[in-house]
Amino acid sequence: MRYAVALLTLLVLVVSAAAQTTVTLDDAIRGIEGAYGRMTDLKAEFTQTAFNKSLNQTIPATGKVYLKKGGKLRWEYAEPTPQQIVSDGKTIWIYTPTLNQVNTGPAPEALAGPAGSFLSGLGKLREHFSVRLLNPAQPKDADGNVVLDLTPKQPLPTLQRLILAFDPNGWRLRKAVVYDQFENTVTMQFTNLAINSGLEDKLFAFVPPKGTATVPLK
């Protein structure tokens, strides 16, 4: 469950802005903050690597993600174990077909705050995070993405640090790394990202299949 909540943080800064050849920290922040009012939804494919430091264990995964204003989200994991994490902004469902079980409860508080909301709450980046370039001497990584290092001003157990890499040609998120309080990480890379494609609300509703056991979230 810790990883499920942590993953809600991963797309908070996906933006659409004018391409720039030289990017400063202020350029990036202005582009990110200015884009939130223009964005209503997004969808993307992702590959994920979850690393547990104490066990020295790495678990890969792949899937698709759909997000919409109002705290609506849908994470569909295809591998290694099929799973769906769905929220209509009020209720969250975590469905694991192999267990024939769905965990459900009120949407986590993180969905409504800067750590979990990707379309609202982060319109003022510096209000919620201490923001810097990961490497001020070399703002771009080997792929040409601008990399930001964010520390939440009110850290959560599931979010102590967030590193985000953006393609400066459109400011779309390409990679995200979430650190929790134990220095475990969840790393995600995004492809085929589409913004404002008109996702329908029914995508963010979940009806458990007949015979599925319902277990309250704890």
For residue 59, the domain's CATH number is 2.50.20.10
Burial category of 160 from C-beta neighbours within 10 Å (exposed 0-12, middle 13-18, buried 19 and up): middle
Please give the pLDDT value at position 65: 93
For residue 91, being part of any structural domain is answered with no
- Stretch 191-209: mean pLDDT: 93
CA-nearest of 167, 204, 194 to 75 is 204
Residue 20 or 35, more confident: 35
pTM of the model: 0.81
Please give the pLDDT value at position 205: 95
Please give the pLDDT value at position 177: 92
For residue 131, being part of any structural domain is answered with yes
- Stretch 99-127: mean pLDDT: 69
Please give the pLDDT value at position 70: 83
Is the separation of the CB atoms in 101 and 209 below 8 Å? no
Q: What percent of the chain has pLDDT over 70?
A: 82
Tell me the HSE value of 80 on the side-chain side, using a 13 A CA sphere. Answer: 5
Could you give the CA distance from residue 163 to residue 147 in angstroms, rounded to a whole number?
7
Please give the pLDDT value at position 34: 72
Is the separation of the CB atoms in 164 and 150 below 8 Å? yes
Provide the domain limits for residue 191.
2-72+111-198
Please give the pLDDT value at position 88: 92
Please give the tally of structural domains in the chain.
Answer: 1
